[in-house]
Structure 1
Amino acid sequence: GDVVAAADLYGHLRVDLIGGATAPDDANDIAAFLDSAVGYLDGASGILNRALLTQKWELRLDRFGPCIEIPLPPLQSVDEIRYIDTAGADQTVPPVGYRVIENGEMPAEVVPAYGASWPSVLSTPQAVTVAFTCGYGAAEDVPGPIKQAIKLMVGEWHKNREATVGQSLTELPLGVKALLASFRVR
């Protein structure tokens, strides 16, 4: 589903629904603006460096470090840690072999279980893979300031369909930076 519900977005844009029920004439444009706004913020390529809706990702590393930082908070779960052992065989670290340290809005960390250490791995690129699930969950779980920023971005693009002379393409509508500031992961 979308991070912002269509009806909520249409209300923000003050766009009337045709006959009170069906999508407006420019619904495809509005949907494209919404996709662009979410894409600008969400996931590995988004400026927030976090996941909005539930997503599954894999982190690939050349070796185990003392601590593995899991990107794209908030973390929901570490699903599996796979590695290539020194004999070249694929192995899985059992869940009892590591601990997940939750950091709320910041990236979580994975460390070996108490009294344990990471296994030895083959010296090869991407010898370690951490599969994880991240994101706030469903659309209703995404923080309000992020949804409001998305609505402001879509509203600006809906109102000003052409780039304004002298305005940078990376410039965000007034208020968006302030709404997003505390959610950016550095």
Structure 2
Amino acid sequence: MLVREPLTQEEADQPPVDLAKAKQALKIHHDDDDGLICSWLWAAVEMADAALGRSLLPRHWVRRLDAFPGGRLLLMPDVQSVVAVRYIDRDGVDQLVPPENYSLIGQRVLEPLKSWPAGHSVRVGFIAAYCANSASVPDGIRNWLYVQAGTFDTTRQVISDKPFYTTTYLDRLLDGHRYESL
């Protein structure tokens, strides 16, 4: 199972893309909803992560396994660094696999340099990112994020008299950035 660690409050308070440009795209000219717009943008980033099959911006992820595999361990695309590889040994003690015992190959695969230790409840913490920061998000993806935030804005209520329009055609903006597994 792959789990994204929750944003810290400091991260959540910072928009994933330029807030002024997002507000301009949304035609919002006041600061009253800045926190709400930030949350819409982060929700849109999570939607983009799922649609792209990769982490758009630097985030901490954890891959959880019942036990180590027989060889290589597949993570997700664009892994920047491995934070820690932990497991529970036969005596029930939480252990850390030393970094010199594994190698990251091609920003996606973790290979043991020796065999993996015997144990269970394996947790591999890592940082992954397709874009180094919000300034490097490609224009097509940034525009897609703005449209998604705009959709949240126009459908604030669960029940609304406003028609709901799907944005399927806009998903084509993401096509060149999707990670297609083999």
Change (3 A) 1:83 1:24: closer
Shift of residue 49, structure 1, vs aligned partner: 3.2
Change (3 A) 1:143 1:99: same
C-alpha distance in structure 1 between counterparts of 2:98 and 2:40, whole Å: 43
Unmatched runs of 5 consecutive residues or more in structure 1: 18-22
Query: 1:54-103: CA deviations, max 9, x gaps?
Result: 222221111211111113x3211001111223343332221111110124
Matched, 1:95 2:93: no
After TM superposition, the score normalised by the length of structure 2 is 0.71
Q: Give the RMSD, CA atoms, in angstroms.
A: 2.8
- 8 Å contact from structure 2 (residues 16, 42) kept in 1: no
Other-structure match for 1:184: 178
Matched residue type, 1:90: D
Max Rg structure: 1
Other-structure match for 2:149: 154
Other-structure match for 1:112: 112
C-alpha distance in structure 2 between counterparts of 1:25 and 1:60, whole Å: 40
Unmatched runs of 5 consecutive residues or more in structure 2: 1-13
- 8 Å contact from structure 1 (residues 153, 173) kept in 2: no
After TM superposition, the score normalised by the length of structure 1 is 0.70
Change (3 A) 1:60 1:7: same
Query: 1:29-49: CA deviations, max 9, x gaps?
Result: 64454344233223xxx3333
Matched, 1:60 2:64: yes
Identity %: 31
Shift of residue 111, structure 1, vs aligned partner: 0.6
Equivalences, count: 161
C-alpha distance in structure 2 between counterparts of 1:86 and 1:32, whole Å: 43
